[in-house]
Amino acid sequence: MSDAKLEITDEDIRFFEVALQEAKKCENVETAFNVGCVIVDALTNKVLTTGYSREIEGNTHAEENALNKLHGSRPRIKLYTTMIPCTKRLSGNKTCAERIVEYGNVETVYFGTPEPENFVVNDTCVGFLEKHEIRVVQIVGFQNDSLEANRHLLKKG
């Protein structure tokens, strides 16, 4: 990851646990991942917004929904997501990684698990975000928790 020395704080874990709760709000769709996301102001460490997969009608992703709720000013943010942001979408929609870069003021993306290999080949999210000077950090120890909302897919693979 881009900053292996970045220390994960208790507050980071607390924000990540909110993302896990958001993932539990997802509708269990047989062909889609259930992901939760939290966006935090990097200066004040206050939650600005949350999102989860398919919160808004259509094939919407957690990061997409959370970013769409940010209106007006563009504070420097940290983004916590249960699964690494997508870099490929079969629907042809803009990827979450592209949306994060377009936001233009993302300091760090924290994630719980990479997308399982049987669903994505050669995921390039880390390199893509790092190329745009966004730190990417895995919250180690939460991979199983991050996948829990997706058991309906994983038992098929």
Domains (ranges, CATH) in the chain?
10-151 (3.40.140.10)
Answer yes or no: is pLDDT of 91 > 80: no
pLDDT number for residue 1: 45
Active site residue 98: no
What is the reported pTM?
A: 0.89
pLDDT number for residue 2: 47
Answer yes or no: is pLDDT of 107 > 60: yes
How do strand 135-138 and strand 36-41 relate by DSSP bridges?
unpaired
Nearest of 43, 1, 44, 35 to residue 16 by alpha carbon = 35
- The catalytic position among 7, 22, 27, 63 is 63
State the burial class of residue 108 (Cβ atoms within 10 Å of its Cβ: 0-12, 13-18, 19+).
buried
Query: Predicted confidence band at 38 (pLDDT cuts at 50, 70, 90)?
Result: very high
| Side chain identity at residue 26, one-letter code | C
16-25, 41-50, 81-90: range with lowest mean pLDDT: 81-90
Q: State the average pLDDT over residues 76-80.
A: 97
CB-CB contact of 39 with 76 (8 Å): no
Query: Predicted confidence band at 14 (pLDDT cuts at 50, 70, 90)?
Result: very high
